[in-house]
Amino acid sequence: MRCLIAIVLFCSVYSLAQKPVAKKLRAKSSPPADAPVVSATQKVSDSFAKAGLKALFAIRDDSSKTKEAMEDVQVEMDSNSRPDETLIFADLTLYSLTHENIELSRESLRLKLNGKMCNENRPGCRNPITLQEELEKDPEYLELIAKDGRCMRAVESELRARAFMEDAKNCPK
């Protein structure tokens, strides 16, 4: 399992390194005159937070737009003047990898249960509704769903609060 995580992490980092961000980076040295005033508690920009939430929901929904949304977050990130944005981006990337790992684990449980049901000649062996009902009784499956939800809520709360928080410890390392 650790090998799989390492491979997924390497591939995602490698693919981001191979393709330069397609969007034009805007100069972040001086804010425009009509820029909103940032409070002391708001440590990330609104545009970064919006892009981050968009990416978070794309990850959760297993959308084909995930990579593009993550690139948008990178474009909006200003790690020099807002270091919390870098930390939140790291949490967002961690959630992406955790979510992928959880989805693979859930699919593995689904396949094992399906094989077990078919080997035992149980009715509903090929019925996806029956299979899902059986899965929802499995405590390991339910824990995977809960873990994914905890991690997503932690990253979402960081983005909505516009500041890095230690809540992302809910994401497994």
Residue carrying the six token digits 């709360």: 157
pLDDT in tens, the chain (173 residues): 455 554 554 455 445 444 444 444 444 444 444 444 444 455 888 888 899 999 999 999 988 889 999 999 999 998 888 888 888 898 899 999 999 999 999 999 999 999 998 898 887 778 889 889 999 999 999 999 999 999 899 888 888 887 776 655 556 55
Is pTM beyond 0.75? Reply is no
Rounded Cα distance between 173 and 164, Å, is 17
Question: In this structure, what DSSP letter does residue 166 have?
Answer: G
Output phi, psi for 21, to 5 deg. Answer: -60, 125
- Which residue in the block uniquely carries the two structure tokens 């249960």? 113
**How far apart are alpha carbons 136 and 124 in whole angstroms?**
15
